[in-house]
Amino acid sequence: MSQAKVDKYKEYKKNRKEELEKERKAKQRASLIGRIVAIVIAAGLLIALGITAYNAIRSGIQARPDYNREEMILEDVAGVLSTEAPTTEAPTTEAVPEGTTAADTASEPAPSEAETTAAASN
């Protein structure tokens, strides 16, 4: 029995370098695979974080009011924002007939309220 142990030890010693080399390569392979998996997971997390940040920034920009839009322009109902001097006359929408000047039309008397309402009802 002791001869069997000696033969087994000699066989182990003879193949020891090869076995150690196989174990070292297996450890390196496992380490490399682990690193690759870690890099892939980290890259996936960074991409997800980047997309989330991009969407958050994008929605924040879209939520801001656009002061250049025409919907944002308020009409000057009270006349507070107008830069023109206030006039006492009501603006007329009548067209000036050809051949007359603005001075000719200004000298004509303004129609009364009764005439204006009668003309509007026709």
Q: What is the DSSP string of 78-90?
A: SSSS--SPP-SSP
Give the model's pLDDT for residue 64: 83
Domain that holds residue 43: 36-64
- For the chain, helix (H) and strand (E) counts, in that order, are 3, 0
In a domain, 116, yes or no: no
pLDDT (tens, 9 = 90+) of the chain, 122 residues, equals 689 999 999 998 998 999 999 999 999 999 999 999 999 999 999 999 999 999 999 999 888 877 766 665 667 666 666 666 656 666 566 555 666 665 555 555 566 666 666 666 65
Number of domains in the chain: 1
In a domain, 45, yes or no: yes
* CA dihedral (8, 9, 11, 17) positive or negative: positive
In a domain, 85, yes or no: no
| Pair 14, 20: CB distance under 8 Å | no
In a domain, 107, yes or no: no
Q: CA 78, CA 88: separation in Å to the nearest integer?
A: 15
In a domain, 90, yes or no: no
